[in-house]
């Protein structure tokens, strides 16, 4: 019982301190790493295999972030000219549709972080009114968050989920989440793209639009890779440390409960919640419902997902501005998907 009490205290710290303490939020990777070390130590689960998994698991996504990051630096300048030309030829509404859909589809290959940086460059090159640009960013981040969940290259959430489900009974491979979530994610990306086309103003250029705070450089790429590596290591440790909680409590929650409980992902990073929730003792419907709830709700508020944090930070979007669209759209999407899951299931 003492172990469970300690784990609940650690879980409470993980779920609340990043949201309430600015220093923790600014040093999230180091904080989660410390909590992961503590969770594994409390449960006595240290082993050479765990150390090897923690060191190796982040390599794929970090390699993708590194390669895509330097490629992005090469195309950053010509991208703005291309965006301006596309705006003239296609118009803002059709361009908004393409941006949301294409970035959502590509995010599982170029990573959610790079997709968010591309979004920042595109929005910075546009000359729309601020309201329309914020709408485009929010809807694109919903799409990116959902698309990135399809492969472990996309974002840490999937990396952690597949790592925890790679053994019996699921033997999850690279395409596990794509097979499980693909039929639900792809229509969602198209829906967000359509919504962007309807909500972005068709008016001409306007003053006061969103602009990137500063351009990326090689040092930014390397720093991001280092943070991503430490973040995934921390999530591997947390996932192992929380295993007794998952096996004892979370695996008993029905799929519908997991889906709606994960609206908490609006204020807490969904990869962290994945480490705390997903385990091999869960059924396939529970796993799918939990992850789908996480990736949808993660778009509601800025702290919920990596692309939100990147885009809002670089474009100086305020929390209230994001929430005015993100919360109603997110709850509407959750309601629609819940209805579909009741009828179809996984």
**What residue spans define the domains of the chain?**
2-343
Q: What is the mean pLDDT of residues 206-233?
A: 78
- Res 305: pLDDT: 87
Residue 210: Cβ-neighbour burial (10 angstroms; 0-12, 13-18, 19+) = buried
Largest CA distance in the chain: 65
| The pLDDT of residue 106 is above 60 | yes
| The pLDDT of residue 330 is above 80 | yes
- Res 26: pLDDT: 78
- Res 189: pLDDT: 97
| The pLDDT of residue 289 is above 90 | yes
Lowest-confidence pick of 156-170, 212-226, 315-329: 212-226
Q: What is the mean pLDDT of residues 276-293?
A: 91
d(CA 333, CA 319): 20
| The pLDDT of residue 208 is above 80 | no
- Res 29: pLDDT: 83
CB 333 within 8 A of CB 326: no
pLDDT of 227-264, one tens digit each? 889 988 888 888 788 888 777 877 788 999 999 988 88
The total number of residues shown for the chain amounts to 346
CB 306 within 8 A of CB 142: no
Among 229, 272, 219, which Cα is nearest to 69's? 219
| The pLDDT of residue 66 is above 60 | yes
CB-based contacts of 200, cutoff 8 Å, min separation 6: 92, 93, 96, 128, 132, 135, 136
Q: In this structure, what token pair is assigned to residue 18?
A: 């990043």
């Amino acid at each position: 019982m003492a172990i469970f009490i300690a784990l609940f205290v650690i879980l409470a710290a993980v779920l609340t301190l990043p949201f309430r303490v600015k220093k923790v939020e600014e040093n999230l990777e180091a904080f989660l790493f410390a909590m992961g070390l503590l969770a594994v130590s409390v449960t006595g689960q240290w082993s050479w295999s765990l150390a090897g998994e923690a060191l190796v698991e982040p390599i794929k996504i970090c390699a993708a972030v590194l390669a895509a990051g330097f490629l992005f630096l090469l195309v950053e300048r010509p991208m703005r000219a291309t965006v301006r030309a596309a705006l003239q030829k296609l118009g803002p509404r059709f361009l908004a549709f393409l941006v949301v859909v294409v970035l959502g589809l590509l995010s599982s290959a170029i990573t959610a972080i790079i997709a968010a940086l591309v979004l920042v460059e595109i929005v910075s090159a546009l000359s729309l009114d601020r309201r329309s640009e914020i709408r485009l960013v929010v809807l694109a981040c919903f799409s990116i968050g959902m698309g990135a969940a399809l492969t472990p290259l996309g974002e840490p959430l999937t990396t952690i989920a597949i790592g925890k489900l790679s053994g019996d009974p699921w033997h999850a491979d690279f395409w596990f989440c794509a097979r499980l979530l693909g039929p639900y994610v792809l229509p969602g990306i198209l829906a967000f793209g359509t919504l962007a086309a309807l909500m972005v103003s068709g008016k001409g250029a306007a003053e006061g639009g969103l602009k990137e705070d500063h351009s990326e450089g090689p040092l930014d790429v390397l720093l991001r890779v280092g943070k991503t590596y430490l973040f995934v290591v921390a999530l591997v440790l947390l996932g192992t440390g929380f295993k007794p909680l998952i096996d004892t409590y979370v695996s008993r929650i029905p799929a519908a409960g997991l889906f709606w409980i994960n609206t908490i992902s609006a204020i807490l990073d969904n990869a962290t919640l994945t480490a705390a929730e997903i385990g091999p003792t869960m059924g396939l419907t529970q796993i799918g419902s939990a992850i789908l709830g996480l990736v949808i709700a993660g778009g509601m508020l800025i702290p919920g997902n990596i692309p939100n944090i990147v885009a809002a930070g670089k474009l100086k979007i305020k929390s209230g501005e994001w929430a005015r669209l993100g919360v109603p759209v997110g709850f509407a999407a959750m309601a629609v998907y819940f209805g579909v899951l009741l009828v179809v299931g996984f």
